């Protein structure tokens, strides 16, 4: 019986034919084997795989996403601020819609007193000298003026990357970073570029940013700006507006010789607008102003209280040997979560931070010895609540704006009374309540009379409760 017949008998005709081998009749195919051997049977045909049940369904039409409704263009009418007696609105000045949009985003309906007075002069192109206490909005005052000037005056057709149109000089890295952040917030709808130059950061990285795009607003510390200028990477001959912030601080820190070198690279004072801000108007500050400005308008905002009414002030009379115990117990017993501690010297700051960390408190330090990239990371960690206690010198006393600081502690009283006001101004911001506690020991209590004279009132001296002076229990490793 042939193979085909056997298969037909077993499976039936149709299945048998499928399984039957290919006919062994001679073939002239080149693949036919030689020597009379029978040819190799062909590979059996493989039946197609059965389709999945869902494949039998008819194809479904593709669902198109509904188009997003177009975003309506922002209009000044979207920013409604009702006039109020005794208050100046930003609407009362002729500001570009792009700038007003950013001001609305920041939640600034009305000007602060220094903003209202300064903008009345600077928007008209006049030089100005301004004095106001910390936290009054002077940074926004000069930024609004700069942005308006740059938007109203188109940049020159021929322009190099390293030629800023506005220059802001500030004494500390932290203040430069803060000003640049405020500038970025106010320029986000304008297309203007903001750059920062500070020491302690990667020089090449800052240079790459400078080479990548035009610089409209440059915020810098004097030393790092001179580095770029003397290398020929930055040219200041196109500066239209120059701002000197914290002029009294730059005098104290010995920056004025560097600032003089920088100003010589800018256009003459008759061809640029110059704005100078200072917390105090000393004779030296006013002499600088006369040299660098032309017929300036002077704006002086006298606060009703030098220190914010929102800050509750305490002074503890305590021996120097007991200061750390008092600090540790205050923070841990009360469960404070965001505290700034000030000391006068960098070595004091380092020791306080090291002891707090050793005793289980999440703390970090901020001083001139800390590299800039680490200082920025530390400030961000403190702002985000990852760091509980920030120990700092007065490098952080000005220009650092972090909401939610509940307590400021002066581990040592400052040698300059104004620094006391700046320190305690880190708390009680934006209408919130705050508390400052100062430790007056045998080495620094003599600073109290000058601080009280500045404040215009006495601060009662207290003896700390006994339980706050107990020894610190060492944490087991």
Three-state DSSP at 258 gives helix
Give 16's pLDDT tier (boundaries 50, 70, 90): very low
Domains in the chain: ranges and CATH = 76-300 (3.40.50.300), 311-469 (3.40.50.300)
Beta strand residue intervals within 34-161, DSSP E: 128-131
User: In this structure, which long-range contacts are made by residues 223-227, counting pairs with CB atoms below 8 Å and at least 24 apart in sequence?
Assistant: 223/199, 223/255, 223/258, 224/197, 224/198, 224/199, 225/169, 225/197, 225/262, 226/258, 226/261, 226/262, 227/197, 227/203
| pTM exceeding 0.85 | no
Main-chain phi, psi angles of 130, to 5 degrees: -125, 140
CB 434 within 8 A of CB 404: no
Could you report the per-residue pLDDT of 286-342, keeping only the tens digit for each?
999 999 999 999 998 865 455 667 789 999 999 999 999 999 999 999 999 999 999
Q: Could you give the angle at which helices 113-122 and 138-152 cross, rounded to 10 degrees?
A: 30
The residue with greater pLDDT, 158 or 98, is 98
Half-sphere exposure of 406 (CA within 13 A, CB side): 11
Task: Tell me the three-class secondary structure of 315-366, residue by residue.
Answer: EEECCHHHHHHHHHHHHHHHCCCCEEEECCCHHHHHHHHHHHHHCCCCEEEE
CA distance 332 to 7: 92
For residue 68, the model assigns a pLDDT of 52
CB 276 within 8 A of CB 129: yes
Residue 429, pLDDT above cutoff 50: yes
Q: Which of 31-35, 250-254, 264-268 has the lowest mean pLDDT?
A: 31-35
Three-state DSSP at 239 gives coil
Q: Where are the alpha helices (DSSP H) in 359-433?
A: 372-383, 417-424
CA distance 439 to 462: 10
CA distance 377 to 411: 24
Separation of CA 12 from chain center: 84
CB 376 within 8 A of CB 326: no
Give me the chain's average pLDDT, please: 83
- Rounded to an integer, the average pLDDT of 131-153 is 89
Give 3's pLDDT tier (boundaries 50, 70, 90): very low
CA distance 352 to 350: 6
Give 28's pLDDT tier (boundaries 50, 70, 90): very low
For residue 8, the model assigns a pLDDT of 47
- Rounded to an integer, the average pLDDT of 377-406 is 83
420 Cβ contact list (under 8 Å, min separation 6):
410, 413, 414, 438, 451, 454
């Amino acid at each position: 019986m042939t193979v085909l017949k056997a298969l037909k008998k077993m499976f039936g005709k149709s299945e048998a034919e499928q399984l039957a081998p290919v006919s062994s009749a001679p073939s002239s195919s080149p693949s036919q084997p030689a020597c009379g051997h029978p040819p190799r049977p062909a590979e059996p045909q493989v039946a197609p795989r059965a389709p999945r049940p869902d494949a039998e369904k008819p194809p479904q039409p593709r669902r198109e996403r509904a188009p997003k409704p177009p975003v309506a263009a922002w209009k000044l009418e979207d920013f409604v601020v009702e006039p109020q007696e005794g208050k100046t609105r930003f609407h009362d000045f002729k500001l570009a819609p792009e700038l007003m949009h950013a001001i609305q985003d920041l939640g600034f309906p009305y000007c602060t007193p220094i903003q209202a007075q300064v903008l009345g002069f600077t928007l008209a192109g006049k030089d100005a000298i301004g004095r106001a206490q910390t936290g009054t909005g002077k940074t926004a005052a000069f930024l609004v003026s700069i942005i308006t000037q740059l938007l109203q005056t188109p940049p020159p057709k021929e322009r190099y990357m390293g030629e800023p149109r506005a220059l802001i000089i500030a004494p500390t890295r932290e203040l430069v970073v803060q000003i640049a952040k405020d500038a970025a917030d106010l320029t986000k709808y304008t297309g203007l570029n903001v750059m920062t130059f500070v020491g302690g950061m990667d020089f090449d990285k800052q240079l790459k940013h400078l080479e990548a795009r035009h610089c409209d607003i440059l915020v810098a510390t004097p030393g790092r700006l001179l580095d770029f200028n003397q290398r020929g990477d930055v040219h200041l001959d196109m500066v239209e507006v120059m701002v000197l912030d914290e002029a009294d601080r730059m005098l104290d820190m010995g920056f004025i010789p560097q600032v003089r070198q920088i100003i010589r690279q800018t256009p003459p004072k008759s061809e640029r607008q110059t704005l100078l801000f200072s917390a105090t108007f000393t004779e030296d500050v006013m002499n600088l102003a006369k040299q660098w400005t032309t017929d300036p308008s002077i704006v002086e905002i006298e606060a009703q209280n030098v220190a914010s009414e929102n800050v509750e002030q305490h002074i503890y009379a305590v021996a120097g040997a007991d200061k750390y115990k008092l600090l540790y117990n205050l923070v841990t017993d009360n469960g404070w979560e965001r505290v700034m501690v000030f000391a006068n010297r960098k070595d004091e700051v380092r020791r306080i931070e090291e002891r707090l960390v050793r005793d289980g408190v999440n703390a970090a330090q901020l001083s001139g010895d800390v590299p800039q990239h680490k200082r920025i990371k530390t400030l961000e960690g403190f702002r985000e609540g990852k760091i509980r206690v920030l120990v700092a010198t007065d490098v952080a006393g000005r220009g650092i704006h972090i909401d939610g600081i509940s307590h400021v502690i002066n581990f040592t009283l400052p040698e300059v009374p104004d620094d006391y006001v700046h320190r305690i101004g880190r708390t009680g911001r934006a209408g919130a309540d705050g508390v400052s506690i100062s430790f007056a020991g045998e080495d620094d209590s003599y600073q109290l009379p000058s601080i009280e004279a500045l404040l215009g009132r006495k601060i009662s001296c207290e003896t700390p409760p006994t339980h706050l002076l107990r020894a610190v229990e060492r944490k087991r490793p």
